[in-house]
């Protein structure tokens, strides 16, 4: 008898569990949709800013790596090496692409006998790299920057506004990167 009561108890428990398991009510579904729409409206502008900063960070990183490579190649080879803008335009010096070359005759002018080490294609239209006043970064055979301190900005404009980085190259060849206070 005790066994049959135990069996009946299990059956009743299963039936009760099925009766309490229901679907989602319309009110619960509406609350979930409302919460998701609020979270999405908050996240989308932040996500646009994130995408803009990410693309600008990629441009800045590529260019800083190229400058570091040019400087190390100048010291390694014992000859000047330059990073030169392909076709600079006002407001976007290196944004149209750039190339790194060895200045075999040390005249600071790219010529037919000067080998190109690396080249980079133009960036998307919403990215600018430099304002066009600096079109060549030139390192002597010791890795020192020829000329004064160089500063240029890597900027991107997107739906959330302009974001960017200030790249500074000192006479000693040291590269410093900071958030840009303003972008064009």
pTM: 0.69
- Position 54 pLDDT exceeds 90: no
The DSSP element (H or E) to which 2 belongs, if any, is helix 2-20
Mean predicted confidence (pLDDT) in 46-63: 70
Q: Cβ-count burial of 50 within 10 angstroms (0-12 exposed, 13-18 middle, 19+ buried)?
A: middle
**Average pLDDT of the chain to the nearest whole number:** 81
Average pLDDT of the segment spanning 11-23? 61
Better pLDDT: 113 or 161:
113
Which band of pLDDT confidence, cut at 50, 70 and 90, is reported for residue 11?
low
Q: What whole-number distance in Å separates Cα of residue 109 and Cα of residue 124?
A: 27
Measured CA to CA, the distance from residue 59 to residue 29 in angstroms comes to 44
pLDDT, residue 55, reads 64
pLDDT in tens, 22-47: 677 888 888 888 888 887 777 666 66
DSSP annotation of 141: T
Beta bridge partners of 84: 99, 136
Comparing 64 with 15, the larger pLDDT belongs to: 64
Question: Rounded mean pLDDT of 84-88?
Answer: 86
Q: What is the distance between the alpha carbons of residues 90 and 132, in angstroms, rounded to a whole number?
A: 5
**What letter would DSSP give residue 179?**
E
Residues 6+ apart with CB under 8 A from 5: none
E strand residue ranges, 22-133: 81-85, 98-102, 116-120, 127-129
Q: What are phi and psi of 135, to 5 degrees?
A: -120, -5
């Amino acid at each position: 008898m005790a066994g049959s009561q135990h069996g009946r108890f299990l059956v009743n428990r299963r039936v009760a569990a099925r009766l309490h398991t229901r679907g989602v009510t319309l009110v619960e579904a509406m609350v979930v949709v409302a919460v998701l729409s609020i979270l999405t409206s908050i996240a989308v502008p932040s996500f646009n800013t994130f995408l803009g900063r990410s693309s600008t960070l990629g441009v800045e990183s590529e260019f800083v790596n190229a400058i570091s490579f040019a400087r190390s190649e100048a010291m390694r080879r014992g000859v000047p090496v330059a990073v030169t803008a392909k076709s600079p335009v006002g407001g976007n010096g290196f944004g149209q692409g750039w190339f790194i070359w060895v200045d075999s005759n040390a005249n600071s002018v790219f010529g037919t006998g000067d080998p190109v080490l690396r080249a980079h294609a133009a960036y998307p239209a919403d990215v600018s790299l430099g304002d066009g006043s600096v079109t060549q970064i030139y390192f002597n055979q010791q890795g020192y920057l020829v000329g004064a301190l160089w500063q240029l900005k890597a900027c991107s404009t997107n739906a959330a506004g302009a974001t960017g980085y200030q790249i500074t190259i000192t006479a000693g060849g040291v590269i410093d990167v900071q958030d840009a206070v303003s972008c064009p």
